[in-house]
Structure 1
Amino acid sequence: MIQYALYFAFGAFGMGQLFCLYRVVFAPGVGDRILALDTLAINMIALIALFGILHNTTMYFEIMMLFAMVGFVSTVAYAKFLLRGDVIE
């Protein structure tokens, strides 16, 4: 029964990935693209977590944490670049 729930969650987050990818490409403003990229990273973290649960291993949770840190730093750097014009002062 848990496998059916995992497969449903894979489908739901995969559909969310496609919607976010569409929003990254066809967004009206740059701020919308930043939010779509951040949501894309969050959905990818959820997919990695589901993959770890499906395979019953903890290795994927370390990968998930690394991906979360990189996604957060890249979102902050991109937003700072848009506000100030440079990342490093």
Structure 2
Amino acid sequence: MTVVGVVAYVLLGTGALLALTRLALGPSLLDRVVATDTLLVIISAGLAVHAALEQDPTVIPVLVVVSLLAFVGSVSIARYVGGMPQQSEHADASDGGALPAAEQEVGR
């Protein structure tokens, strides 16, 4: 294995560990979604590096499947999150979620 291969695999491994850390610690759903998408991109890059260094074209279909999985998963989560109702910072349980008077005037 060449020095370039070792450096590429070390960088991809480091990125994967950082993405796994964000996946485990991410405080919100979107943090975890971005970490998962990043991890799938790193896996795709690792497969591409392996295919290039080993000159092995049999990995290419797996690379295409992982890339499509990452794309479809990201779009699906984006559509799911986009359809969720948003929580307003000003909404309070006591006023039933009504907007303050200043924001109601702007909305007219």
Report the TM-score when normalising by structure 1: 0.85
Percent identical: 24
**What one-letter code is carried by the residue in structure 2 that aligns with 1:73?**
V
- Once the 2 structures are TM-superposed, how far is the Cα of residue 13 of structure 1 from its aligned partner? 0.4
- Across the two proteins, how many residue pairs are aligned to each other? 84
Task: Give ranges in structure 2 of 5+ residues lacking alignment.
Answer: 85-108
Q: How does 1:34-45 map to 2 (within 5 A)?
A: 34-45=33-44
- Once the 2 structures are TM-superposed, how far is the Cα of residue 79 of structure 1 from its aligned partner? 2.1
Distance 1:82 1:24 in 2: 17
The residue that corresponds to 2:75 in the other structure is 76
Task: Please provide the CA RMSD for this pair.
Answer: 1.4
The residue that corresponds to 2:7 in the other structure is 8
**What one-letter code is carried by the residue in structure 2 that aligns with 1:45?**
S
The CA deviation string for residues 36-76 of structure 1, in whole angstroms up to 9 with x for no partner, is 11111111100001111222111112211111001110111
Task: Give ranges in structure 1 of 5+ residues lacking alignment.
Answer: none
The residue that corresponds to 1:47 in the other structure is 46
The residue that corresponds to 1:56 in the other structure is 55
Distance 2:76 2:34 in 1: 13
Is the Cα contact below 8 Å between 1:34 and 1:79 reproduced in 2? no
Report the TM-score when normalising by structure 2: 0.71
Distance 2:54 2:25 in 1: 35
The CA deviation string for residues 4-61 of structure 1, in whole angstroms up to 9 with x for no partner, is 1011100100110010011011012111111111111111100001111222111112
| Structure holding more helix per residue | 1
Which consecutive aligned stretches of 4+ in structure 1 deviate over 2 angstroms post-superposition? none
